[in-house]
Structure formats: structure tokens, C-alpha cells
Amino acid sequence: MKSSIVSEVKEKNGMKDRVIYHIKDKAIWAVFLAIVVGFSLASPRFLSSSNLFIIMRQVSMYGIASVGMMFVILTGGIDLSTGSVITIVNVVCAHLMVKMGFGMVSAVLVSLLLSVFIGLLNGFMVATIRMPAIIATFASQIVFAGCAYLLSGGVPIYGFDPRFKVIGQGYVKAVPVPVIIMSVCFAIGSFILNKTYFGRYFYAIGGNEEASKLSGIKVSSIKYLVYALSGLFAGLAGIVMLSRTNSAQPTAGNGYEFDVITCVVLGGVSVAGGYGKISNVIAGVLIIGVLTNGMVLLNVSTYMQMVVKGIVLALAVGFDCLQKKRALT
């Protein structure tokens, strides 16, 4: 008798708990909707199906790279080399195809291997040498931006096999191929984080590295893994970009990492590591995409766009911190 009452109370509390949790969790989607409504009132073109597809195509690169970035940030690290990985993948892939006569597939594979290698290098500096992630990946950002410039001689490379366009510009039925690639990346990310044991380790390491080690987690191996994955996803974003623009610019990915970090943090991933959900990162990516697109439609200047994005980032993180503070007192 008594125990049934207890469990009933538990159940009721559990319900209330879950409802509050859900509302809090979905706040970011509410923000997304608010922005969408705002822009569609301000510009009739915004909600047109052609514009929606443009948005989706635009965000796909952010989306793809954000999966890897999220892994790294979850473990308490950061990857500042993302932009340079995108650039070097652009340049190397183009170079292989145009200057060295590689086939499309092998050029893509070699470039992706290179991006994994850069990730492993970051992993080596962070996990084995124990350099602070922000410095280690900053160093590789500079190095590989330089390499890309040296390799390309500072001029764009173009003239690819026409079939290469499919990756960035093609459609399957009515859905753009990059959107499909992004969705697959999110699905993989979600699978890793929610279903696999090493996904749990990402959270554990970001939460308490020492305790993770004592729980039998091979912290360095996992760090190599997250940086390698971050490199790989950035490389994939680079390939999509190359196919979209159909020419490799020696500065293609410059500054990209900050947009990607913004997407991830906007999605509520704790910068200190240990906490974050991929569904909210998707919302973060969409918000940035919609904001950029909407402001372009409304003819907002690039500098004004920077101001707005910066404020959005500060608001998002500030809101998150306030919530945490409230939960504790």
C-alpha cells in the first residue's frame, strides 16, 4: 500500500520533471521558430521553397563540420583548425584532380585521409604532448593555412570533371545532395553519442578527466579519436564546398571554425565539456543558417551581420549560464 503511494508520487514527480526538462530543452527550437516567423514577415521571399533549399544547402557545410566539433567540445577541447582543414582539403583535392590526374574518387579519399591525419596530429599534441587544445589546434590552423597557400601558389584551381559537381550541387529527387550528406552526418553523430560506448566516454572525459581515467577509460585514445573525427567531418565539409564552388580558393575555409563553434555552442553544448545534445546542435546550425540568409535577403551589411551573430552567440551562452545558475540555487 505505502509503496504504491510512494511510486505514484515518484511517477508524478517524474512527469513534472520530464515536462520541465522538455520545455527547457526545446527553448532553442522556439528561438529558431521566432526567427523564422520574424524573417518571413519581413521578407515575403524568405519562406519560398527555393529560398528554403538555398538555406539548407548553405548550412550543410556548417552542419557537417559541427558534428566533429561537437565531439571535441564535449571532451572539453576545442578545434581551431577546422577552417584550415577545409581550405587544405579544397586545395589538395583540386590539385590532385587537375594537376596530377587523379580520379575523382581517389582524390576525395586521399584528401579525407589528409584531414584525418591533421586531426590525429592535433590529437597527438593534445593527448600525448598535453598541449592546451586551443594552442595546439591554433598552431595547426596557421600551418595548414600556410601549406594551402604554398601548394596553390595563391591562385584558384579549377577545371574538374563535371560529375564532381554532384556532391555539392546535385539533387536526389528534390533533395540537394549536400543536405543528404549533412543528415547522414547528424545521424552518425547521434548514433555515436547516444548508442555507442565511446560516445559516453566523450561526455565522461569532458565532465571529469581524472575520474574517467580511473573508470578505465583510455583518455588519450579517445582524444585522438575525437580530433581525428573532427578532422574527418571538416574534410567532408571541405569536399562539399569544393564541389559547390567548383574551384579551390586558397583561402576557402578561413574563419570557418568560428561559425562552426558558434553553431555548436548555440546548440547548448557546454564549452567546458561534458554536456550537450545533438538535436540542439542541429537547431544551432539552422539558426545560424537562417540568420545569415535572412539578413542577406534584407540587405543587411556584412558588418552588421557580424554584430548580430556576435550578439546571438553572447545571448545564447548567457542564457545557458543563467539557467545553470538558477538550477543550482
Which is closer to another protein, CB of 156 or CB of 207?
207
Is 210 a residue that touches another protein (CB under 8 A)? yes
Which residues, 70 to 109, sit near another protein by CB under 8 A?
A: none
Q: Is 8 in the site for another protein (CB under 8 A)?
A: no
Choose which of 51, 104, 147, 207 interacts with another protein (CB under 8 A).
207
What is the DSSP annotation of 156-175?
Answer: -EE---GGGGHHHH-EETTE
Give the residue among 49, 62, 26 at the shortest CA–CA distance from 291.
Answer: 62
Which of 153, 216 has the CB closer to another protein?
A: 216
Nearer to another protein, 211 or 298 (CB): 211
* Residue 218 region by backbone torsions, left for phi larger than 0, else alpha for psi between -120 and 50, else beta: beta
Binding mask 250-289 for another protein (x = CB under 8 A): --------------------x---xx--------------
DSSP 8-class letter at 155: S
Give how many residues touch another protein by CB under 8 A.
32
- In whole angstroms, what separates CA 149 from the centre of its chain? 24
CB of 199 vs another protein, minimal distance in Å:
8
Distance in angstroms between the alpha carbons of the first and the last residue of the chain = 35
Pick the closer one to another protein by CB: 13 or 48. 13
Contact between residue 114 and residue 235 where contact means Cβ atoms under 8 Å apart? yes
CA distance 157 to 222: 36
Euclidean distance between CA atoms 183 and 189, whole angstroms: 10
Q: What's the angle, vertex CA 245, arms to CA 244 and CA 246, rounded to 5?
A: 95
Q: 149 or 203, CB closer to another protein?
A: 203
Q: Binding another protein by CB under 8 A: which of 149, 218, 279, 305?
A: 218
Closest CA to 70 of 294, 210, 233, 312: 233
Give dist(CA 196, CA 280) in Å, integer.
19
Q: Which of 142, 150, 172, 211 binds another protein (CB under 8 A)?
A: 211
Site mask for another protein (CB under 8 A), range 10-29, x = bound: x--xx-xx--xx--------
Interface with another protein (CB under 8 A) = 10, 13-14, 16-17, 20-21, 195-198, 200-201, 203-204, 206-208, 210-218, 270, 274-275, 328-329
